Amino acid sequence: MTVAFETILATLTGRMAAFTGIEQDRIEYANSPAADGSTFKPPAKGVWCAFEIQHASASFAGMADRPQYRRPGQVVIQCFCRRGKGLSAINKLADALSDHFQAWSSGDIECSEANQHVVGDFETYYQINVAVRFRAG
């Protein structure tokens, strides 16, 4: 029942990679180089996002041949658009990401509800975070 952190990473990153609501070169994955080996550079126009997994404290789930644990956490997808370009595109992206992740499961990994958190304006961009709780194990 205990799911390895690498399995959690691969499964949830794979789910993000399957998302067709934005081109993959507009997604920054945590600590990963861009497709050409460089660091991620936000596009000059349109929306983009950053994908991250945040783990929470594990909880005891049962005993078999050894103790088993559930590993909860959340997927956080930071969505960005340039300031002064309106909110329609970023809201559509956040809605599509919410629909893509919430109530989805694969094996021992389950995603539950998605929440949107408006971060707002910062220098040259506007930000909304999509947070999706998950449970592994």
Q: One digit per residue, pLDDT tens: the chain, 137 residues?
A: 679 999 999 999 999 999 999 999 999 998 887 667 778 889 999 999 999 999 999 999 888 888 888 999 999 999 999 999 999 999 999 999 999 999 999 999 999 999 999 999 999 999 999 999 999 98
The answer to whether position 35 is within a domain reads yes
Residue 107 CA from chain centroid, whole number: 18
pTM greater than 0.85: yes
DSSP-assigned letter for residue 51: E
Domain count, the chain: 1
Residue 119 resides in a domain: yes
SS3 labels along 73-93 = EEEEEEEEEECCCCCHHHHHH
**Backbone phi, then psi, for 131, in 5-degree steps?**
-115, 125
Q: Residue 62 sits in a domain of what CATH number?
A: 3.30.2000.20
What span, in angstroms and rounded, lies between the C-alpha atoms of 130 and 35? 24
Whether 62 is in a domain gets the answer: yes
Q: Which tokens in the block code for residue 46?
A: 């349109």
* 137 within domain boundaries: no
Is 30 inside any structural domain? yes
Strands (E), 14-66: 27-29, 48-55, 59-63
Residue 70 is part of which domain span? 5-85+92-132
Query: Would you say residue 52 lies in a domain?
Result: yes
Residue range 51-73, pLDDT digits in tens: 999 999 999 988 888 888 899 99
